[in-house]
Amino acid sequence: MSVLDEILVGVAEDLETRMAATSLDDLKQQASRQPPALDPMPAFRSDGVSVIAEVKRSSPSEGKLATIKDPAALAADYAAGGAAAISVLTEERRFGGTLADLRAVRGTVDVPLLRKDFITTSYQLWEARAAGADMALLIVAALEQIALESLIERARSIGLTPLVEVNDEAEVHRAVDAGANLIGVNARNLKTLEVDRGTFDRLAPLIPDTAVKVAASGVRGPRDVIDYAKSGANVVLVGETLVRGDDPRATVADLVAAGAHPALQHRW
């Protein structure tokens, strides 16, 4: 059993518990009380490279990364540093996150929020929207093609922008065939946890220019932002570098400044 398979087993068990406690109808009522979802795409399609900053306590590969007692305060620092969007991990067993983190962040910042989790059902999409998310992560490796297509359509129907994650050539083709227009290339293989920093370089040319290309994993500083941009990235998603640093606001600001470099303008 791969690492991804193990994670999905735990996610399914935790999902059953939440579904027993909160009905789908209740979630839809909660979602209806949320303000309209924010659209991240105009910022992502603007000149330069946008930054998605991530609230992340731990990971299967690195273990505990940071003690984040106040995710809302961290998110506020990210927003103040110029992050175009904020990603919030809500998977508890391996990443130490919860939907409560997402709700806390939503109550503090006014930039688009991504629910980053292992979403395999429409119930989880409704959870995301009810908690204030504007985007939802869909991992191609975790989904059959019919499910991927269905979840992309359902996400959009309830106001969420789907960020579709890929890690190899076949997954890129599946994402494109499913109609994804926001595609994230994860340098980390979730089945083995190995990182290949050349993954984005290899896969970006396969993604249509009409889609927004997100480089996820492997951003250690401004130089990496520029390198990813030269390979075609419109957006970078940064987590570990930020939560391990002493000054997340300044670190985000440095990454945003790198993404705004004059040489990276007018790429659409």
What are the extents of the domains in the chain? 3-264
Phi, psi of 88 (to 5 degrees): -125, 120
- Amino acid identity for residue 218 in this structure: G
Cα separation values, 134 from 9, 37, 155, 250, Å: 26, 5, 10, 25
Helix axes 248-259, 222-230, angle to 10 degrees: 30
Superfamily grouping for domain 3-264: Aldolase class I (3.20.20.70)
pLDDT on residue 67: 76
Strand-pair category, 63-64 with 58-59: antiparallel
CB of 134 within 8 A of CB of 35? no
Angle (CA) 57 60 63, round 5°:
55
| Token digits of residue 252 | 């985000």
Can you give the pLDDT of all 268 residues of the chain as single tens digits? 898 999 999 999 999 999 999 999 999 999 999 999 999 999 999 989 999 999 988 776 666 766 778 999 999 999 999 999 999 999 999 999 999 999 999 999 999 999 999 999 999 999 999 999 999 999 999 999 999 999 999 999 999 999 999 999 999 999 999 999 999 999 888 888 888 889 999 999 999 999 999 999 888 889 999 999 999 999 999 988 787 777 899 999 999 999 887 666 555 5
Provide the β-strand partners of residue 195: 188
Cα separation values, 135 from 33, 62, 85, 180, Å: 17, 25, 9, 13
| Token digits of residue 94 | 């391996």
User: Which tens digits make up the pLDDT trace of 55-77?
Assistant: 988 776 666 766 778 999 999 99
pLDDT on residue 61: 67
Global confidence as pTM: 0.94
Rounded Cα distance between 237 and 218, Å, is 9
Q: Which helix (H) or strand (E) holds 65?
A: none
Task: Determine how many CB atoms are found less than 10 A away from the CB of residue 67.
Answer: 9
Q: For the chain, give the longest Cα–Cα distance.
A: 53
Rounded Cα distance between 28 and 102, Å, is 17
Rounded Cα distance between 196 and 1, Å, is 21
Rounded Cα distance between 125 and 197, Å, is 30
pLDDT on residue 262: 63
| Token digits of residue 132 | 């204030």
